[in-house]
Amino acid sequence: MSTSTETTVDLSRPEVHLHIGSERLSEGSAGSFEHVNPATGTVDKVIPLAGPAEVERAVNAAAAAFESWKRTAPAERARLLHRLADLIEENAGEFGRRGAMDNGTPLGTVASLTGKSIAWTRYYAGWADKITAEVTSTLTADGELGYTLRQPYGVIGIIITWNGPLISLAMKIPPAVAAGNTVVVKPSELTPFSAELFADLVEQAGFPPGVINILPGDAASGAALVEHPAVKKISFTGGPVTASKILTACAPTMKPVVLELGGKSANILFEDADLTAACGFGTIMSVGAMSGQGCAFPTRMLVQESIYDQVLAMVEAIAEQIVVGDPFAEGTFAGPVVNRAALERIQDVIAKAKADGARLVTGGGPLQLPGELAGGFFLQPTVFADVDPASELAQHEVFGPVLAITPFRDEAHALEIANSTRYGLSGYVHTQDLKRGLRVAEELVTGEVLINGAANLPVNRPFGGLGLSGLGKEGGRAGIEEFLFTKGIGIA
């Protein structure tokens, strides 16, 4: 493992506002939040926080805008979304800078997420004029004609997490507004800078005031948004604990939800796999990319016994070559984790894994960098071998740069281990036997399966899990259908 510390990027932090209708507020009734730079551990900006009062104003603005937005020509909704996609592309460099400021994600990784965000926005722009209904019956013996309508819900409450603020905005807002809904969005207070730029671009694109409202806030403002009677559906990305509270709050009125939650995804390496590709993918995507802070990452590597020692050696070598350091420095692949609480929590997980008998292969501790980065929340990419499938490390999401490796005997044993958690977001398979790959993909209890390094989050493929990984889908046709309800109509 090596480190990087040199940068020439402008590090000034932008102002943050609450965007409600046509207003840009510099203060919120919930006070303010001290945003901490995770690379230095120091406060770099004080941002305003929305409280229930601002949530009320934003919902009212969205509800008022809905009456005209739902009647706006689909071609116009598409035009505005295409313009927004163009503006995101024009500001890709600035989104890279702000993403690194938000949570310490390195510039190169933010660039790839920005590209995906552009693609998601353009894809759902294309859906705006393709929402169709169906005739359910021609004239019957009783002389009736039946057909359906697909209609928007109204105001959608959107709550996003901190690990990928721009891609989360792009996965939720474009399909919601393409379908004719208006939105109130609560970004995490931990990552306000990307959302601020996104809100600016919404205004530049020419969206009517109130269609897209964006206001950073804390848990109280999130609860106010969820519970507001004028909010007709919730789309949330985050953890199961908060999701459970959202479900409880929505239960009395049966308010529908989309929940994109965590994962403990298995990555199965069979003995005929291309080990160079499989080990590179499995290591980088678990302890490198975003410092392991991704819900769909392959954080459990299941390895067939005949190649187990070979894979351990390869994974160790790859993990130790990951460049950890300043997210603004050229060549950095992994930055810090998001805050001190995350750093301490992950260190506790590592200590517990050692106590449970897992064998530490590499890493295992904090990483001390020189200069102003000395106070940053950096961790060594950490790999454990011989991990008991029933252990805490194998059963619970870490959300940090920690990989658990477990051997398996055969296909049935691999599936038994892979399906042994309460999560069900993603699954990964590496094999040169296509029939086996398809067979295993069918048996994995997950919302998606990626074979031989297939890409995460292509916009035209539905994404979303089951169990503790959530409800509903984002992406593809299913992604826009989440923001439409079906009405049946009969004519006598």
Catalytic residues: 260, 295
Sign of CA dihedral 195, 485, 244, 469: negative
Closest CA to 339 of 379, 293, 377: 377
Give dist(CA 88, CA 92) in Å, integer: 6
Q: For 27, list phi and psi in degrees, rounded to 5.
A: -135, 150
Give the chain's radius of gyration (CA, Å): 23
The one-letter code for the residue type at 285 is: M
H/E element, 323: strand 323-325
**What residues pair up with 485 in beta bridges, in sequence order?**
151
H or E element that contains 241:
helix 240-250
Amino acid symbol at 181: N
To which H or E segment does residue 203 belong? helix 193-205
Asked if 489 contacts 476 with a C-beta cutoff of 8 angstroms, the reply is no
Residue with tokens 């398996």: 408
Angstrom distance (rounded) from CA 187 to CA 470: 19
